[in-house]
Structures are given as C-alpha cells and as structure tokens.
Amino acid sequence: MARQADLSAVVRRIVAAMKKETVRGEVARYIPHLSGVSPDHFGIAIVTAAGEIVSGGDCRIPFSIQSISKVFGLTLALGNVGSRLWERVGRTPSDTAFNSISQLETEGGIPRNPFLNSGALVVADINLSGRSAESAIAELIGLIQSLACDDGICVDRELALGEAGTAYKNIALLNYIRSFGNISGPLDAVIDLYHHQCAIRMDCLQLACAGRYLMTGGAVLRDGRSIPEQVVHSINAAMFTCGLYDASGEFAFRVGIPAKSGVGGGILAIVPGVASIAVWSPGLDRNGNSVLGVRALEDLVQTAGWSLFVGGSRPMRQG
C-alpha cells in the first residue's frame, strides 16, 4: 500500500538519523536498574487506525515503561470511580518537577495532576481499593495485556525492588499526602503497587498496540468490560497538557499531539483517529524526557502532517 510504503520509508529514515545522533542525553541514574542501560538504543513502532504496523530500530527490546504506566493506572481508576477521581487529583499542568513535594503543601494534599508521582500515588490508592498490591498489579497487567493482545507483558520485579530501596522521595510524598487524608490504603501496599506498575516491561510494538484505545476512542476488553470515549477523552487531554513533565508546553509547540513519557526513555504518543506511536531511547534531557524520542516524534509528526494544530483529517502526506 502506497501510504504504508511512505510511512515505512519515513521510519527507516528516522531510525538511520537517530543512530547517527551523538547528543543522546543521560540515562536515569536514581533507579539502580536503569543506570546500566545503554543510551545507544532507539526503537519506534506505529500502529495506524487502518491496522498497519510500521516499526524499526530496537522496537522489540523491552524497556521499563516507568511513568507511562500512569496512563494505564489512570484508565483503570477512571473506570473504577469515574469523575469522582478529580475530587482527589487535579488536572492542570504543574510548574514543578515530577517528584516535587512543595505544591502539596499549598494545595492541601491534592496533587496537581495524575501524571506527577504524587498524583499517580493517589491513583494507585484508588486502584488498590482494599485489595493486596499483588492483586491490584495483576489487574493492571491484565488490562495492559488485553489492550496489547499480548500475554507476555510482565513486571520486572527486581527493578521494582531496586527502586523501592531508594525511593525516599516517593515515600515522603506518600506520607505527606496521607497527612492530608488523601490516601486511605496501607502505605506499604500503595507504594508497592506504584513501584511495580513503573517496573512493567514492554517493547515499542507492545506499547503502540496497547495505546490503540487512545487512538480509536475506546476499547472492549477481553473480560467484556469497555473503556468508554469519555475516559479516552480525559486521558488524551491529561497527556496533552501534563504528559511530558515541565516540558509539556514545549512539546505541544514542537510536536502537537498527546504523549506520555517515562524515565526509562519511552514515550507513548497518540494522533487521535490516526495513529498510536511508541518510541524508546534511554537518554533523557533535564526534564526527564527521552532526547531522541522527542526528536523522532517531532520529525515524524511534521513529516506526516499529524500535528493536531494544522487541521484536516490526516492521511500520510504524499511526496
């Protein structure tokens, strides 16, 4: 198909360009198991609304999805408690780091948005809802496996334990939010769930497949439950405004689509109605976003004419 041929050529060009890049950022060092990952990796996978799959580079090497898991945690929580979630978590961008504690003091223990560590801890508390961390993580993994149609997706338990051993800031955040009454479950179970969800391993292809529901406006899961359009709308809006930490505004200018990054170097990006895209390169910029991941998305979206701000329904531009 001509269009897929075009997209394949664009992806081949981007993979070749990324291989040559010498400025690749720094891998996250504060999580023990991430510090040893080589910054030389680059992978990309695109699933289009027509069902085409185009991928390249290290698209089959699994990596730690880290904060991208917050997208799936939020999907579960919105399904569980609906819009009541927004009584406990805000939905505006923050101007502080993803693991900052300061905002919580002036805002009464209500995290600014669900993609900050503080917000994701409250979301984890909602998803725990009286169960063990083990059963809550099993539910989240089940959701992701169902979305990706891939039962091989799992948690890297050693990575989770490694992060837990040095998670002084996350523990401080959790205790601080609890002091305002915005955490109700046992603290050790909430943080256990959070660290295990961050340690989920996926490759670009699995991640792009799992993100399809955000492209198509919903999904019916294999247990019969469905993810409604309103949940997709909320998540894409949160990704767009808050998905790239402090650089979310800059990303909107440079790229112009909803996306969520993680300190493992992955980014899930959505062109609503058109494509679900996953990129991975472990080197991060000072905001914690993958240097090559952002660059590749900027190139792809500009080349394909996929920015949400240029109008038109966007088949791949020819020529």
Q: Which one of 96, 99, 216, 302 is in contact with ligand GLU (CB under 6 A)?
A: 99
Output the smallest distance, CB 291 to ligand GLU, in A: 15
Count of beta carbons in the 10 Å neighbourhood of residue 171: 15
In the complex, what is the shortest distance from the CB of residue 220 to ligand GLU, in angstroms, rounded to a whole number?
29
Using rule CB under 6 A, residue 113 touches ligand GLU: no
How far out from the chain centre does Cα 299 lie? 20
Work out whether 291 is an interface residue with ligand GLU (CB under 6 A). Answer: no
Give yes or no for a contact between 279 and 262, defined as CB atoms under 8 angstroms apart: no
Closest approach, Cβ 34 to ligand GLU, in A, equals 9
Tokens of 101: 């504690």
| 67 near ligand GLU, judged by CB under 6 A | yes
Look up residue 2 and give its amino acid: A
Asked if 236 is part of the footprint of ligand GLU (rule: CB under 6 A), the reply reads no
CB-nearest residue to ligand GLU: 67
* Rounded-to-integer distance, Cα 148 and Cα 306, Å: 23
Among residues 260 and 295, whose Cβ is nearest to ligand GLU? 260
The amino acid at 3? R
DSSP secondary structure letters along 281-310: ---B-TTS-BHHHHHHHHHHHHHHT--TTS
What does the alpha-carbon distance between residue 234 and residue 4 come to, in Å, rounded to a whole number? 30
Selected binder of ligand GLU within 48, 66, 182, 248 (CB under 6 A):
66
Identity at 42, one-letter amino acid code: F
Nearer residue to ligand GLU within complex by CB, 76 or 242: 242
The token duo for 98 is: 């993803």
From 94, 170, 276, 289, residue interacting with ligand GLU (rule: CB under 6 A) = 170
Shortest spacing between CB 200 and ligand GLU, in angstroms: 11
Examine residue 262 and tell whether it contacts ligand GLU (CB under 6 A).
Answer: yes
Binding site for ligand GLU (CB under 6 A): 66-67, 98-99, 117, 163, 170, 198, 262-263, 288
